[in-house]
Amino acid sequence: MNSARRMMGGIAALVISAAITVSGASLAVAAPSSQDTDYITANGQTSLAEITIGQLALQRAQNTATRELAQMTLTDHQAALAKLQTVAAQLGVPVPTEPNADQKKDAATLEAVDDAAFDLTYAQIQVAGHQKSIAGTNQEISAGSDPAVIGYANDYLPVATMHLQMAQDALAELGGTPTAVPAGSGGQAAATAGSTVGWQGLLGLVGLLAIAGGLLILRRRQSFR
């Protein structure tokens, strides 16, 4: 009986030890990668920056499209920040409490700019900021490791894309120029077109020279007659 109890006790100890080992391995696998933690930091800073300049735009913006953009981004980024904080807390990852240095400079620029230039400056900052945020979100979706962070990024992407479109529309309405040139309009296609025009001009010049040379020969022949 005692040997049987000792055997059962040994088996129980092995089961507990194996469970602890498996649990530890699971925790190690579930730990977020540097890509995940970097994205949490960057995305949190973006939402904090959007909340800050959104509040400022609601106070100073004069254009209707700019005010609508400010209200939309303010509301959506408050919700995004709350969701990000929940995801980060489950992973034990700290969320930033203030925007990054460049975002603070943007806010300072908006505080200092004249009223007449505020809406245009705000729209330009919004276009550039959301382009960068979307690029970072796509990077997380493709290279992240934690399902919760990737899931957050998938939910965030269409919202950020909508904000970018609104910002581009507002910028166009204000007569501004987008901060990024669409691919294809000024790259290889433009270079090819320029090369084609150059060759066409050269061939035209050669043709004119040939005609002039032919006329000169004809005149010389007539003078010898």
Tokens found for residue 133: 């945020």
* Type of residue found at 20: I
* CATH (one of 2.30.40.10, 3.30.360.10, 2.30.110.10, 1.20.1260.10) for 16-173: 1.20.1260.10
* Type of residue found at 105: K
Answer for the pair 53, 129: CB distance below 8 angstroms, yes or no: no
The residues near 111 (Cβ < 8 Å, ≥ 6 apart) are: 56
Nearest to 103 by CA among 133, 76, 78: 133
Question: What's the pLDDT at 176?
Answer: 77
Question: What's the pLDDT at 102?
Answer: 97
Q: What angle do CA 155, 146, 141 make, to 5 degrees?
A: 45
- Alpha helices, DSSP H only, in the chain? 2-30, 34-60, 64-91, 101-112, 115-143, 147-173, 188-224
Successive 10-residue mean pLDDT values, the chain, 225 residues: 54 49 47 95 98 97 96 98 98 97 97 96 97 98 97 98 97 76 32 37 47 49 44
pTM tops 0.85: no
Tokens found for residue 98: 């203030």
The residues near 104 (Cβ < 8 Å, ≥ 6 apart) are: 49, 98
The residues near 73 (Cβ < 8 Å, ≥ 6 apart) are: 50, 54, 126, 163
Tokens found for residue 159: 């919202």
